Amino acid sequence: MKVDDAAGVEAGKEMEKDSESNKPSSAQNNPDARSVQRTKSFTFRAPQEQFTIQDFQLGKIYGVGSYSKVVRARKKDTGIVYALKIMDKKFITKENKTSLVKLERVVLDQLDHPGIVRLFFTFQDSQSLYMALESCEGGELFDQITRKGRLTEDEARFYAAEVVNALEYIHNIGLIHRDIKPENLLLTAEGHIKVADFGSVKPTKDGQVSFLPTLPSDDKACTFVGTAAYVPPEVLNSSPATFGNDIWALGCTLYQMLSGSSPFKDASEWLIFQKIIARDLIFPDYFSEEAKDLTDKLLHTDPAQRLGAGPQGYVALKIHPFFSGVDWDNIRSQTPPKLALETGATEGHELYHAHDGNGSTRSSEASGPVPRLASIDSFDSRWQQFLDPGECVVMISTLKKLQKLSSRKMQLILTDKPKLICVDPAKTQKVNTYGMDNQNYLSIVVTSPTNFKITTPKKVMCFEDAKQRAWQWKEAIEGLQKQ
């Protein structure tokens, strides 16, 4: 066995060795029967099963992170669809992420709220750890903002109220999410909000969540986590995490829902941080006075003074005039806004994956051998003119092409030739085309979940993907080069 493989196996053992039993317990029927202390034993509500990846038909990729990806997965024997989070054991071990993965798994297991994605079960193999999560067929709130341009105040009020409802629960049991943003707010098929991605969660000392005795506490609570545009100023100044961190992110999210962009948007993370520290906040004229006032109070520079994090807690937040008419006692029974559907998305556009005998991943499509549209922001006749007859799109997205002092939007199209096409979306005009038959001519380097560099013998191009799919671009490009 190779050293890396051995490390991966050990990571898997470490994930579950603290559990005396992984069978479902009475806690599944009585979620309130929890200890508020660290316990010597722990029975997972969501058990570790003996499933294999071959038990699932894998569909489109929902998202890609630094050491994981989330894919749509249908259990073959039951037909139930899950969002399957697949985590790389080698990376987890190498980057010392084991405690974070364990923390997320333990926290998700105990969360019980209609506004939070549910963990159903886990399993593992020699390469990966798997978490089967509730599948949210309505996609990300980010997608709704993108497709609609911006939301109406009625739509934003509905979504914000459901986020507040979930955050109140999260904070009441003593957890700080630390990565609230539109990409982590998922929608059910009906259109209700589900808070997802607890990979950055921070438990408080007096919380109501049980922990494994060997799970280390996060003494470095001021460590930078989250996404640049939603990070509060106190975190940039190395202050400890508080509930106010999530309230600030809620304010950024509300602003983005109403305007179509984040309040502290700029060309680089450094410039974004300068705007956050200076609280360089400008409200569009079409914001109502109630929306301006609420956003202003959520984005208070003092975390203890933010509405919802102050002395009156969530009572003060929920009685704000912006939420006038919201039935807080029956919020999940209200009719959600109508979802805007993805342009050009069809069943034939899903990218499927299967593991071969060596544990590697190959791609195929249900309707043919060519993978198409692993991720679509928009695909219509405007881009068809840049393709050759019979050429198929593998990935397409509107990205930022970053330059020294500026940035510009660029439609990046990856085809099965394989070929990479850069198009100016404003002029619908081709800028460059790059053949990519081998990695010696064209290579890709990921620098963060949002940023990647494409290098050719003549130039280096830097791109930013707001939906954090840098690793997905790398996998798609390198996968085509190996074919």
Q: How far apart, in Å, are the Cα atoms of 292 and each of 174, 273, 379?
A: 29, 22, 35
Reduce the DSSP state of residue 316 to 3 states and report it: helix
Taking the C-alpha atoms of residue 393 and residue 420, their distance in angstroms, rounded to an integer, is 10
Kindly report the backbone phi and psi dihedral angles of residue 203, in degrees, each rounded to the nearest multiple of 5, phi listed first.
Answer: -75, 145
Q: Any catalytic annotation for residue 179?
A: yes
Query: Do 351 and 371 touch, CB atoms closer than 8 A?
Result: yes
**Torsion sign over Cα 180, 181, 185, 191:** positive
Position of tokens 């003996």?
50
Query: Do 153 and 291 touch, CB atoms closer than 8 A?
Result: yes
Taking the C-alpha atoms of residue 17 and residue 14, their distance in angstroms, rounded to an integer, is 5
Tokens of 235: 């975190």
Which residues fall within 8 angstroms of residue 367, CB to CB, at 6 or more apart?
Answer: 348
Q: Which of 88, 109, 179, 465 is catalytic?
A: 179
* DSSP class per residue in 46-115: SPBP---GGGEEEEEEEEE-SSEEEEEEEETTT--EEEEEEEEHHHHHHTT-HHHHHHHHHHHHH---TT
Q: How many residues can be counted in the chain?
A: 483
- Catalytic center residues: 179
